[in-house]
Amino acid sequence: MEALLLGTGLLLGAYVLIYYNLVKAPQCGGIGSLRGRTAVVTGANSGIGKMTALELARRGARVVLACRSRERGEAAAFDLRQDSGNNEVIFMALDLASLASVRAFAAAFLSSEPRLDILIHNAGISSCGRTREAFNLLLRVNHVGPFLLTHLLLPRLKTCTPSRVVVVSSAAHRRGRLDFTRLDRPVVGWQQELRAYADSKLANVLFIRELATRLEGTGVTCYAAHPGPVNSELFLRHVPGWLRPLLCPLAWLVLRTPKGGAQTPLYCALQESIEPFSGRYFANCHVEEVPPAARDDRVAHRLWEASMKLAGLGAEEEDEPDEEPHLEDLRTLSALSTPNPKELTVSEPSSPGPQRSPDFSKVTRRIQVKAEPEPQVS
Ligand SMILES: NC(=O)c1ccc[n+]([C@@H]2O[C@H](COP(=O)([O-])OP(=O)(O)OC[C@H]3O[C@@H](n4cnc5c(N)ncnc54)[C@H](OP(=O)(O)O)[C@@H]3O)[C@@H](O)[C@H]2O)c1
């Protein structure tokens, strides 16, 4: 009997420790009203992305849910309009596995949305599932697609400063190791997938680091956020059916809710006065130190160059064009680059009217070792 009581006490104690250290998430504060501002959240039809979009909508932002499935994206937009009481939640099609789809999304967005204040790269995959591509699908969806999207939307972010870019990374970046000789090789088998996932999350951290350097002084700041261990479909959807009844209750006990997971990305998007920490990695609503591999400016620069190639961006697209592209060009581009032009449309178009086409103003390049402020932000 005594042994039973002792065992129960130890189990409870262990759970309390796990709960307070892993499961319980600090609440994000930050700017209360987002009225008049526009946010894009990728992969917002489920999990952390949906909860992130809900909070932004509750605070009054116009929220664009950038999702790959029209059905799931429109269903989520409907739910979020109901739950937030904010009608300015719309769906736009974006498949990060397809560079053409990323370009089409950007063209459609730039031609219909006058503002972009917050860009949250939340969408991600942990496995290729049954898909067999001739490239590294995990890197494409988790890093290259977001890299290209940021590049294409940057002109709009720059006209809406102060604006922010947040990439939902992961603590898994600590296990990442970028091998530039095989960066885009197809990934086969679960071991390669685990490695590729960690590598892609390391790429997120290095991308944000380099982006911050290039954006210094523009009024656009950027952050990498770790949501914590979250009870979502990210890993569970790849678990065999027979194992689910065992794993689901355990996941419910020891993992955060998606709402808890949304707190750090929201913190990075909304917290006042964190601009000096642009380029840094946040977890539990705190800035956190990353391992040497994730703060190597030379590797970050090399990754940027490699990503330019993988995203199909030429050097000329980094330079200031002689002329600004016209709205008609953007429409043509979107029609040409979308496999199914119908997928471009928004679920509930409001009518902000055609906007000035974006200025592809040159991003200043300064490669330097950054002096990092001490991680003291609360
Ligand atoms: N869960 C965790 O413990 C954890 C921990 C650390 C970091 N994260 C990161 O948090 C982010 C959100 O994950 P989650 O846990 O909320 O998982 P989730 O529920 O599976 O959400 C992932 C979202 O990404 C979307 N997506 C997948 N492939 C896409 C593509 N090709 N184009 C556009 N969207 C795509 C999914 O859309 P569909 O519904 O159409 O598949 C879904 O909406 C991910 O970046 C993940 O790496 C999660």
Residue 21 confidence class, pLDDT cut points 50, 70, 90: low
Q: How far is the CA of 278 from the centre of ligand 1 (A)?
A: 23
Residue count of the chain, please give it: 378
pLDDT at 254: 86
**Cβ of residue 47 lying under 6 Å from some atom of ligand 1:** yes
Q: How far is CA 337 from the centre of its chain?
A: 23
Q: N- to C-terminal Cα distance for the chain?
A: 45
Smallest CA-to-CA distance from 91 within 65, 122, 115, 130 is with 65
3-state SS assignment for residue 147: helix
Q: How far is the CA of 364 from the centre of ligand 1 (A)?
A: 32
Residue corresponding to tokens 């210094």: 216
Amino acid occupying residue 295? R
Note the pLDDT tens digit of each residue in 28-64.
888 889 999 999 999 999 999 999 999 999 999 999 9
3-state SS assignment for residue 72: helix
pLDDT at 373: 53
What residues are paired with 121 via a beta bridge? 167
Q: How far is the CA of 121 from the centre of ligand 1 (A)?
A: 10
Predicted model pTM: 0.85
Query: What is the largest distance, in Å, between two alpha-carbon atoms of the chain?
Result: 82
Q: H or E segment at 153?
A: helix 145-158
Smallest CA-to-CA distance from 101 within 312, 307, 308 is with 312
Smallest CA-to-CA distance from 294 within 178, 140, 147, 180 is with 178
> Which position has the higher pLDDT, 262 or 234?
262
Ordered structural domains, the chain, with CATH: 29-311 (3.40.50.720)
Pairing label, strands 163-168, 220-226? parallel
Beta carbons within 10 angstroms of residue 56's beta carbon: 30
| Most informative mutation of 22, 23, 46 for ligand 1 (most atoms within 8 A of CB) | 46
Looking at residues 252-268, what average pLDDT do you find?
Answer: 94
> Which residues form the catalytic set?
197
